[in-house]
Structure 1
Amino acid sequence: MKQIELELNGLNCAGCAGKIEKLSNELDGVETANLDFVSKKLKVNVREDEKAAIITEEIKRIVNKLEPHVKVIDKAESHDHNHEHSDGCCGHDHGGETSKKEIIKLAIGGLLFILPYLLKLEGTPRLMVYVLSYIIVGHEVILIAVKNILAGIPFDENFLTTIATIGAFVIGEYPEGVAVMLFYQVGEMFQGMAVNHSRKSISSLLDIRPDSANLERNGKIIVVDPNEVNIGDIVIVRPGEKVPLDGIVVEGESSLDTSNITGESVPRNVGINDNVLSGTVNNHGLLKIKVTKKFGESTVSKILDLVENASSKKAPTEKFITKFARYYTPIVVFAALAIAIIPTVFMGGDLREWAYSACVFLVISCPCALVISIPLGFFGGIGGSSKAGILVKGGNYLEALTGVDTIVFDKTGTITKGTFKVTEIISYGEYSKEEILELAAYGESHSNHPIGKSILEAYNKEINKEYIKSYKEIAGKGIEVSIDGKEIILGNKKIFDEKGIKVKESDSIGTVVYIGKSNKHIGTIIVSDELKDNVVEDIKKLKSLGIKRTIMLSGDNESTAEKVGELVGLNKVYGNLLPQDKVNKFEDIVRDSKGKVVFVGDGVNDAPVLARADVGIAMGGLGSDAAIEASDIVIMTDEVGKIATGIKIARNTKKIVTQNIVLALGLKIVVLVLGAMGMATMWEAVFADVGVSIIAILNSIRALKIEE
């Protein structure tokens, strides 16, 4: 299966976007087509690769038919991701960057509209001036309405406005017919300006892509596209420039502004051998960086990819409104028809009066305010989150955060720093502490576990691996190994219980590693892990937001896990869990929860639980690729406090979206009822349609605000 990605430059009509997506999905050979109105990108999955070019051409024809001014750019043919095309166009642009021609057209139409009042025209001259004004202002709307009717998709704002205004002419309400078309076009122009303003506000948050890289080659510095730099190349980053690719500093010292990536305002000092992330800004000093990842795999690319693809995963509210709009408009159209016919035919009403009410119905029936403002609201929330160092992979996950009542944490790397150190060595019998540490180091010499690595660091001597035989690691329990012909056991109490060896238990907040030799417990090593900074306050913040249960799942022994949970202030702790036990325990937690359940983790063994959770949150800075891949939200700074920030942003976004729904539907219903009773005019209808759309779109921009 192949994916086609097209950018629809100049697309500012949410209704048209919906039609393009619908028709693209109906094309032969298309598996799925998803058009993101915010980023103006159409992503199409094609069943057969060889049909991709044909389908691309068919989509271009669809777009040209519905929106002739929109320019379709195939991403495969263009490597320029920083398009600076204007959204303006000649003709019907739904209010993109307004052209002089559009303003002149509306000005002439407006002057002709007031001319009959100024000259006190009557009869045929009056009618002719209004018709001329109507044609100048609305001819494009009428042409598009006719095209859409012929294409079999009549129910859109062009059709509704055309029918309503022609109806006004038929019943002799010439001024209102022209006024509706004129103010509809003016409103569409302002609506498009508001949409573009929202897009630019969101885009400015994501302006982290480096435009170029200073590549050092053969003693010279050449400016190249970041895509042209390979792993191992040396790039130069001057003060004020963005780091173009992930790498390691090989020369120079500086401080980096990492706020674009992590949301942190405090600069980070870097020197030789320090890792640096693409997208961060060099504050001072010249840096030479050895590239470790190609641009497509770099941090900045992954962030942009996550955020740009986020709006393809629609929130339940957004899906409902899209479905609602599909049925709402036809229902209102038929209701308008009923208003015009039923009172006249069956109740002897005045046809002109009820036809006018029907026209009011038609004007107000377009759900643009909802269709445009809601995706903008969710994308604004996603953009604001990314600025805070919280990458949300979809509006559905952002909305899910508003209904969370339980948060489940992994311990190591989530509640604690994941940096282990040997803090105590206990020996029994004839063995010294140095001998206990040596045996433990030899036993852990093949282990990749952080505990094993900390023991090797504490030993800090060369390991003669010739002495090591029959090494066996038992998941979640420990290690059995033969060292110089002696059987050694290292691990937790479980492995000793299985062997029938009694241990002298140690009570510690750290991880306890028991060492056994010749079926006897000879010593204990305690490896401690520090709590993350401010984690106690962070848990309190979560509880203050209404999180009812905070739970920790840990592979550590029960007593160690309990002590950590008690220090941090968690409601419940489960210890001695193998990876598969975590999944089973998490299932139990989900069953007992009334709201959404979040899991927060960072390790490879957390990936199954992250994927199972209603919302999986990965600690991205230290987290594994597997955990980040399986998660729904990535926290770049590894701070538990960012979860509270994310919940606040999610709630603020939901509040704004709800305000837009109540405002748009509330006003429309009021005017619809008044219109049905003959108490509303075209002016109220125009405001309830276009005016409310502009207010709702501008309100959506508030979702960009970061709640700390």
Structure 2
Amino acid sequence: MSEIERTYRVQGFTCANCAGTFENNVKELPDVSDAKVNFGASKLKVVGDVSIEDLEKAGAFENLKVYPAKEQLKEKPFWKQQQFAQTVISGLLLIIGWVLVFQRGESDVVAIGIFASAMVIGGYNLFWQGLENLAKLRFDMKTLMTIAIIGAALIGEWGEGATVVFLFAISEALERFSMDKARQSIRSLMDLAPRTATVIRNGQTVDVPVDEINIGEIMVVKPGQKIAMDGTVERGASTVNQAAITGESIPVSKGLADEVFAGTLNEEGLLEIKVTKRVEDTTIAKIIELVEEAQAERAPSQAFVDRFAKYYTPFIMLVALGVAVVPPAFFGADWSTWVYQGLAVLVVGCPCALVISTPVSIVTAIGNSARNGVLIKGGVYLEELGSIKTIAFDKTGTLTKGVPEVTDIISVNDYTDQDVLTIGAYLEKSSAHPLATAIMKAASLAGIEATEQTVADFRSVTGKGITGLVNGEPYFVGSPLYFEELNIVLPPQVHSLQQQGKTVILVGKQDHLIGYIGVSDQIRTSSPSLVRRLKELGITKTVMLTGDNKETAQAIGKELGIDEVRGQLLPHEKLNWVKQMKERSKVAMVGDGVNDAPALATANIGIAMGGAGTDAALETADVALMGDDLRKLPYAIRLSRKTLTIIKQNIAFALGLKVLALLLVIPGWLTLWIAIFADMGATLLVTLNGLRLLRVKDKEK
């Protein structure tokens, strides 16, 4: 029997270390075999049978509140949180204490009592957790701060100890603010879809919570209303703003049988929509789930910071001990002065800024990309995307529209164009091939009723063409190779059409040609500019991998400015080409997420087109372009590179400011004031720098 796995939302996280402590506490609970905290999304996944009350006891050190995953939490404003009240009271007491010091001197008993009260009120949670960590020999930032503040009190520096408590509380508030701001992108996605919808039941329209709506029910959406569930249009026509899901800025026309998504806005007409997915399976729900999971995935830089911080904190404690003990013990320096310096080293060594430097950037970037129609499924892919040098594209449905159209109808041997299209349509009506669909569409537009004609002895010749009897006479429709096997001489114009990037379908009898049809999969209007922009971004090589014939592939590749074109490839051959390219540089593969799955999975980064409503694209790829729009790709690369730059800057800021502050130990100038301001300054710098990623926009919107 498998163990119970449940997901919860957590309210009240103040820092990444606190999230780690909470995770460890939950793992230690009876009947819990595993637990994982997603700090970026404020979620907890527990394997085991445990109550919410027990989980909240495990988070009592931070006064955490735990809720079922389906509940949409509204974060309390900062000024309504308990920590805010404690910080304000601590700050007021601190001011009163310093006023008394200036009036009566540092030894004033009342001032010392007020400072002590400020320390206890402002640092209650800090001391409680710090002492518990110390008892368990667990060394983190709260352990460092607890030792430093208690040490300051023991050597009589009550005022500075209280000031450090107050400023540390401000620093933690900055950290909470930054992560809350970063999570806001996901919270805004959660608010997109309405909680209720109007459905038709027993001939009446009634408002029903979305949780109670079943697949197959008809939902009524008026102009100006948001669509609550995924579905298909049963009646009506309108334009729908899909920007929230796909990032498209221009509303899309919707009519009978067209797919619509929860969270999108019906702008004009009244729509009746048949529900196709339950609320937990809608595209918006899947996006939110995948983005939250992506925020939990540690990027390489974050893994480095976590490993570094693990050894950094004990190292700082040893340095602080050395500063406090070595000068007075071996060089006759003043104990009080150097113990004070050692305490200041503990404060300045607090790794707050370092720990927050990467998560705030990753969470902000992934949330921003989701709002712009690009789903990046983890920090590792976000970082990898910026270092890609080679991009391989599938042709059909990626660089082209994926919908073939008839472009040329040419008759020979005294036949008419109508004859060519008529015979072609008669035989192709029984085929499900995309090229057959294009011919049937052209025939319908020409007024040819192909379905009324009976075709006897119909046979399909795999990979070559089809044959059948029309009015008792045999006809053949197929590729040039098929007709060469029939010993029919092909006119030179056939080769000319192929050189133009068109697929040629021939129509004939046993011994002569009736004519031929040119079919072309139209290039997306965005494709030429996309290739140009990628090269401007420094992509050194673009490759097109396609199963289409080589001449057609070469013609399209030349028109787009693709560096290398490989045609007539089977899926396993595409896979082999990706493997070969990976040996020379980092490769991204762009495809439709279905038949390109092996190549997508093998590339350093798999990028799927048309993620909206396409489960295969969402599942198989590392990155999904939700709006089926290749123009999102340069934006994603720019965002990745900007994120990498900001992470490096943040790590440099966090460590650089601390190194500068620590250098003040040499002349004995480091004070608790300077130490806490250096720590808070570094936290503020990395926070604001990380939030700059909210400003990276898709230039095509």
TM-score (ref. length: structure 1): 0.88
Q: Distance in 2 between matches of 1:591 and 1:499?
A: 44
Greater CA drift, 228-237 or 267-276: 267-276
Following superposition, the deviation at residue 481 of structure 1 comes to: 5.9
* Distance change >3 Å, CA 233–CA 322, structure 1 → 2: same
What aligned pairs does 1:410-425 form with structure 2 within 5 A after superposition? Answer: 410-425=394-409
Contact in 2 for aligned 1:378/1:703 (Cα 8 Å): no
Match of 2:569 in 1: 577
The equivalent position to 2:168 in structure 1, one of 153, 175, 184, is 184
* Distance change >3 Å, CA 171–CA 108, structure 1 → 2: closer
Contact in 2 for aligned 1:384/1:649 (Cα 8 Å): no
Following superposition, the deviation at residue 428 of structure 1 comes to: 6.0
* Distance change >3 Å, CA 340–CA 531, structure 1 → 2: same
The equivalent position to 1:311 in structure 2, one of 281, 295, 299, is 295
Following superposition, the deviation at residue 567 of structure 1 comes to: 0.8
Following superposition, the deviation at residue 107 of structure 1 comes to: 1.8
Following superposition, the deviation at residue 300 of structure 1 comes to: 1.9
Contact in 1 for aligned 2:243/2:249 (Cα 8 Å): yes
What aligned pairs does 1:230-379 form with structure 2 within 5 A after superposition? Answer: 230-379=214-363
What aligned pairs does 1:40-79 form with structure 2 within 5 A after superposition? Answer: 40-44=42-46, 46=47, 52-54=48-50, 59-64=55-60, 66-67=61-62, 69-75=63-69, 79=70
* Distance change >3 Å, CA 625–CA 141, structure 1 → 2: closer
Match of 2:495 in 1: 506
Match of 1:49 in 2: none
* Distance change >3 Å, CA 436–CA 658, structure 1 → 2: same
Q: Distance in 2 between matches of 1:159 and 1:9?
A: 23
Contact in 2 for aligned 1:487/1:517 (Cα 8 Å): yes
Q: Distance in 2 between matches of 1:132 and 1:522?
A: 99
Q: Distance in 2 between matches of 1:326 and 1:603?
A: 40
Match of 1:84 in 2: 74
Structure 1 residues without counterparts, runs of 5 or longer: 47-51, 91-95
Match of 1:148 in 2: 133
Answer yes or no: is 1:641 the counterpart of 2:626: no
Q: Distance in 2 between matches of 1:179 and 1:380?
A: 32
Following superposition, the deviation at residue 148 of structure 1 comes to: 2.8
Q: Distance in 2 between matches of 1:446 and 1:601?
A: 29
Match of 1:36 in 2: 38
Q: Distance in 1 between matches of 2:601 and 2:266?
A: 36
Following superposition, the deviation at residue 671 of structure 1 comes to: 1.2
Following superposition, the deviation at residue 206 of structure 1 comes to: 5.7
Q: Distance in 1 between matches of 2:614 and 2:452?
A: 28
* Distance change >3 Å, CA 123–CA 627, structure 1 → 2: closer
Structure 2 residues without counterparts, runs of 5 or longer: 445-449
Match of 1:195 in 2: 179
1:261-304 alpha-carbon deviations (Å, 9 max, x no partner): 22222233434544322211123443332223322332222222
Q: Distance in 1 between matches of 2:478 and 2:32?
A: 55
Match of 1:589 in 2: 581
Q: Distance in 2 between matches of 1:100 and 1:124?
A: 25
Following superposition, the deviation at residue 564 of structure 1 comes to: 0.5
Match of 2:121 in 1: 136
1:540-568 alpha-carbon deviations (Å, 9 max, x no partner): 11111111111111111111111101111
* Distance change >3 Å, CA 356–CA 497, structure 1 → 2: farther
The percentage of counterpart residues that share the same residue type is 37
Answer yes or no: is 1:455 the counterpart of 2:451: no
Match of 1:560 in 2: 552
The one-letter amino acid of 1:147's match is E
Secondary structure of the structure 2 residue equivalent to 1:278: coil
Match of 1:611 in 2: 601
Match of 2:541 in 1: 549
* Distance change >3 Å, CA 258–CA 542, structure 1 → 2: same
Match of 2:657 in 1: 667
Aligned length: 685
1:449-492 alpha-carbon deviations (Å, 9 max, x no partner): 3223223333441177873556453xxx3456666899987655
Superposed CA RMSD in Å reads 3.2
Q: Distance in 2 between matches of 1:311 and 1:495?
A: 53
Secondary structure of the structure 2 residue equivalent to 1:605: coil
Q: Distance in 1 between matches of 2:694 and 2:97?
A: 42
Following superposition, the deviation at residue 574 of structure 1 comes to: 0.8
Q: Distance in 2 between matches of 1:589 and 1:522?
A: 45
* Distance change >3 Å, CA 277–CA 121, structure 1 → 2: closer
What aligned pairs does 1:11-22 form with structure 2 within 5 A after superposition? Answer: 11-22=13-24
TM-score (ref. length: structure 2): 0.88
Match of 1:108 in 2: 93
Q: Distance in 1 between matches of 2:95 and 2:457?
A: 92
Following superposition, the deviation at residue 256 of structure 1 comes to: 2.4
* Distance change >3 Å, CA 100–CA 162, structure 1 → 2: closer
Q: Distance in 1 between matches of 2:219 and 2:693?
A: 37
Q: Distance in 1 between matches of 2:428 and 2:82?
A: 65
The one-letter amino acid of 1:143's match is W
Answer yes or no: is 1:467 the counterpart of 2:477: no
Q: Distance in 2 between matches of 1:637 and 1:137?
A: 49
Q: Distance in 2 between matches of 1:26 and 1:490?
A: 71
Following superposition, the deviation at residue 410 of structure 1 comes to: 0.9
Q: Distance in 2 between matches of 1:463 and 1:626?
A: 38
The one-letter amino acid of 1:400's match is E
1:28-60 alpha-carbon deviations (Å, 9 max, x no partner): 88776432212201224x3xxxxx214877654
The one-letter amino acid of 1:680's match is L
Match of 2:694 in 1: 704
Q: Distance in 1 between matches of 2:578 and 2:388?
A: 15
Q: Distance in 2 between matches of 1:74 and 1:636?
A: 29
The one-letter amino acid of 2:133's match is N
1:181-237 alpha-carbon deviations (Å, 9 max, x no partner): 222223323443343344336533664232221222234332222222222222222
Answer yes or no: is 1:686 the counterpart of 2:676: yes
Secondary structure of the structure 2 residue equivalent to 1:691: helix
Contact in 2 for aligned 1:373/1:696 (Cα 8 Å): yes
Following superposition, the deviation at residue 429 of structure 1 comes to: 5.8
Contact in 1 for aligned 2:13/2:176 (Cα 8 Å): no
